[in-house]
Structure 1
Amino acid sequence: MSVSSSTILTESGTNELEIIEFHLEKQLPNGSTKTCYYGINVAKVREVIQVPETTDYPNAQPHMIGVFSSRDVLTPLVDLAGWLGVPTRNDIQKKFVIVTDFNRMTNGFLIDSISRIHRISWNDVESPSQFLEAGEQDCVVAVVRKDGNLIMILDFEKIIADINPELSMEKYDVKVDKSVDLNQKMVSKRNSKTIMVVDDSAFIRSLIQDTLSSAGYNIIACKDGGEAHDKLMEVAGVAKNENMSVDELINAVVTDVEMPRMDGMHLVKRLRDSAAYHSTPIVMFSSLMSDDNRVKALALGANDTITKPEIGKMVAMMDKYVFGS
């Protein structure tokens, strides 16, 4: 099963996505099995293949089965069920592999079966409830109800960062980045500015927030585009009632692309259609920032884009658009 980029959203800002539903078969103590339903955005998937021959990799991380060649790229094969703590059958040859391609990395994830592709609206994608969320350690970013089942959309950035910590954005520390101006005058200048950060991954949201706040910026964090839009409209209402300009309260927005309730592209479109946020700096920060998606983001009105591994560019980009420097 090959996944072509042409199957992804036909129009920018339509607030729709396509997900691949796949399954893990949980082995229960009584010998029976229970199907666990999961999903991943089609845009992150290169192909679904039968389990390839793998080579053991020295000193590999836990849950890494080995490595294989995918279109001449050395690719780690991850035991997804093992990482999730779901006991499944050991017959690996009857399983499948989802090969992902995002954040400029290729990875393979072992699954039990592939189901189908669903085209859905982000309005129908729910955030996990506060009861289910486990802060930065949570690996479910959204839930889709389909055919009486709950499909869990997994935080694959979190999984990859856990398995390959050397490749994680967690390695970045703005305080030791000599390219970032951290003198007291500049930090104080940033301290008078507020940036909204929007991302459905608590893990990624925390990394962006820590990076920008360490440089001096004030942060308002939102877990999806719907929450961000609601808060921004509230701020616009307060500004209007107080006879203030919105940029006295919010100076920029950093947003992910794929999020429950309202995706980043649709959020940008809604903000640019409003008088209050017509010129507010907006930067899109996404693992899906291909050349095509960058063109779409800029056409909708985003000022700039960053691919998720490049968190080191974040402070300089905010300085550029907030201060015009």
Structure 2
Amino acid sequence: MSQVSSTILTESGTNELEIIEFHLEKIQPDGSTKTCYYGINVAKVREVIQVPDTTDYPNAQPHMIGVFSSREVLTPLVDLAGWLGVPTNKQLTRKFVIVTDFNNMTNGFLIDSISRIHRISWNDVESPSQFLEAGRQDCVVAVVRKEGKLIMILDFEKIIADINPELSMEKYDITQDKSVDLHERAMQKRNAKSIMVVDDSAFIRAMIQDTLASAGYNVIACRDGLEAHDKLMSLAAAAKQENMPVSEFIDGIVTDVEMPKMDGMHLVKRLRDSAEFKTLPIIMFSSLMSDDNRAKALSLGANDTITKPEIGRLVVMMDRYIFATPASMVTAEPA
């Protein structure tokens, strides 16, 4: 499994994904080992390699082993077990590295073993229990039950942001962004509008919510596409009962792509098949927004897309679609 490729996200709203199952071997207090099962979306993985030679990096963040060259790109190697607090054997000779490529960044994550690729429906991917989810600090975005095992799907965006804060969306300060109108009149206009934010990562969902709310928007937060779809159908039913357009209840949606129960692509497809939501502004905000996935998102009916580090584009983009006249509110062209 040296190179990994997948076209599943570019299929038409299938609500399916492929995950790579990998393992960390936890050393128990009695010296025995216990296998811990984890997963990552194939679409985020460039390749799986043996541990490369690394070079120490001065003043490196904790759990950063060093840097190596991956296809001529300087790539940090992260001790994933160390970051997760899982004690493992430090011998590197039998370990592997998952090289990821998303958010316009390349990173390597040290693991003990690689297992296989599973193709599953997002409907079979469970959200962490409300008793386990720890808000912004949670690093598990979903759980998959497979062959009697619980496979934890990790929030790699959260891990990278924690290890390298300089690359985190948390650095964005809307009050310093001269492209966003924060004058009282603009804030009042936005305060009359409601945007639904759909993301399975509590860490990213909170950042998007904070950014939009700081600009004046009202925000409805959902943890996955199914929760969002159910809420939107309830709003549509309420609007019909009161003989009002659904736009009186909701003005736009910002949605992730990969989410439990229903992914963002499938959510967009379902909404555009519904008469009530055919013209509602929808922005897809994802770490997986390659040119192919952008084209697919637009073909399914999304108005525009943003890659997750570019949170600074969000408010201006929402303003453009929410306050545009119907004649001028056209979908963006593929990049």
> Hey, what does 2:94 align to over in structure 1?
94
Q: CA contact under 8 A between 1:194 and 1:250: conserved in structure 2?
A: yes
> Hey, what does 1:66 align to over in structure 2?
66
> Hey, what does 1:193 align to over in structure 2?
193
> Hey, what does 1:211 align to over in structure 2?
211
> Hey, what does 1:308 align to over in structure 2?
308
- Aligned-partner Cα distance in 1 for 2:9–2:156: 20
Structure 2 gap segments, 5+ residues each? 326-335
> Hey, what does 1:322 align to over in structure 2?
322
SS in 1 for 2:52: coil
Q: CA contact under 8 A between 1:199 and 1:205: conserved in structure 2?
A: yes
Q: For residue 242 of structure 2, what is the amino acid of its counterpart?
A: E
- Aligned-partner Cα distance in 2 for 1:277–1:241: 16
Q: For residue 95 of structure 2, what is the amino acid of its counterpart?
A: K
> Hey, what does 2:243 align to over in structure 1?
243
Write the mapping of 1:1-325 to structure 2, written as runs, cut at 5 A: 1-9=1-9, 11-324=11-324
SS in 2 for 1:238: helix
- Aligned-partner Cα distance in 2 for 1:10–1:164: 30
Structure 1 gap segments, 5+ residues each? none
SS in 2 for 1:21: strand
- Aligned-partner Cα distance in 2 for 1:183–1:190: 11
**Deviation (angstroms), 1:131:** 0.6
Q: CA contact under 8 A between 2:236 and 2:246: conserved in structure 1?
A: yes
Q: CA contact under 8 A between 1:3 and 1:42: conserved in structure 2?
A: no
Question: What's the TM-score once normalised by structure 2's chain length?
Answer: 0.96
Question: What's the TM-score once normalised by structure 1's chain length?
Answer: 0.99
**Deviation (angstroms), 1:4:** 4.3
- Aligned-partner Cα distance in 2 for 1:5–1:291: 15
Q: For residue 195 of structure 1, what is the amino acid of its counterpart?
A: I
- Aligned-partner Cα distance in 1 for 2:10–2:283: 22
Q: For residue 274 of structure 1, what is the amino acid of its counterpart?
A: S
Alpha-carbon distance change, 10 to 310 in structure 1, aligned in 2, over 3 angstroms: closer
Deviations 1:131-186 (A, max 9, x none): 11001100000000000000000000000000000010000011110111011000
- Aligned-partner Cα distance in 2 for 1:271–1:251: 14
- Aligned-partner Cα distance in 1 for 2:236–2:2: 45
> Hey, what does 2:331 align to over in structure 1?
none
- Aligned-partner Cα distance in 1 for 2:192–2:45: 41
**Deviation (angstroms), 1:6:** 4.1
CA RMSD after TM alignment? 0.9
Aligned pairs, number: 325
Q: For residue 51 of structure 2, what is the amino acid of its counterpart?
A: V
Deviations 1:249-279 (A, max 9, x none): 1000000000000000000000000011011
- Aligned-partner Cα distance in 2 for 1:7–1:281: 26
SS in 2 for 1:93: coil
**Deviation (angstroms), 1:92:** 1.1
- Aligned-partner Cα distance in 2 for 1:202–1:29: 32
- Aligned-partner Cα distance in 2 for 1:254–1:38: 28
Q: CA contact under 8 A between 1:122 and 1:263: conserved in structure 2?
A: yes
Alpha-carbon distance change, 214 to 89 in structure 1, aligned in 2, over 3 angstroms: same
Q: CA contact under 8 A between 1:9 and 1:18: conserved in structure 2?
A: no
Deviations 1:194-231 (A, max 9, x none): 00000000000011001100000000000000100000
**Deviation (angstroms), 1:114:** 0.1
- Aligned-partner Cα distance in 2 for 1:237–1:178: 40
Q: CA contact under 8 A between 2:100 and 2:108: conserved in structure 1?
A: yes
